[in-house]
């Protein structure tokens, strides 16, 4: 069984007061780089970016990290990524502090965890 981690990029980046708001693209790039080398046990990591953060990382696959640019709402894109992975039979975990989004993702088969859970592993 494949394990998939779906990351709410805006939510994870926004969980640390490190100046991310000055350059959202650079903050997204730092997160992406951390996901590439981080100590996780997931086969696939899906990083969902929205808005200005999309400028920091191109959409597509880089090793085990796949970056998805939300066309509209980041939340809708995250739920869709979780749904597709769950329907494929993957073990899916979603990283977000948004309780409503977490509940929606849990409703389609994901385990929800907080940004601090992920950041502790990077």
Rounded CA-CA distance 93/85 in Å is 10
- Residue 89: phi and psi, rounded to 5, are 95, 10
Whether residue 122 has pLDDT greater than 90: no
Q: Count how many domains the chain has.
A: 1
Checking if the pLDDT of 11 tops 80, the result is: yes
Angle between helices 99-107 and 74-87 (to 10 degrees): 30
pLDDT of res. 91: 97
pLDDT at 55: 95
pTM of the complete model: 0.95
Domain, as residue range, for 64: 3-119
Please tell me what DSSP assigns to residue 119.
Answer: H
Sole residue written with tokens 């995250």: 78
CATH number at residue 22: 3.40.50.1010
């Amino acid at each position: 069984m494949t394990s998939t981690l779906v990351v709410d990029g805006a939510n994870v980046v926004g969980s640390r007061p490190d100046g991310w708001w000055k350059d959202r693209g650079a903050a997204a790039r730092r997160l992406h780089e951390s996901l590439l080398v981080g100590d996780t046990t997931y086969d696939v990591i899906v990083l969902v970016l929205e808005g200005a953060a999309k400028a920091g990382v191109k959409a597509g696959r880089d090793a085990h990290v796949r970056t998805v640019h939300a066309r509209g709402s980041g939340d809708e894109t995250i739920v869709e990524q979780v749904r597709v992975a769950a329907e494929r039979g993957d073990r899916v975990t979603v990283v977000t502090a948004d309780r409503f989004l977490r509940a929606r993702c849990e409703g389609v088969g994901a385990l929800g965890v907080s940004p601090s859970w992920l950041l502790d592993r990077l």
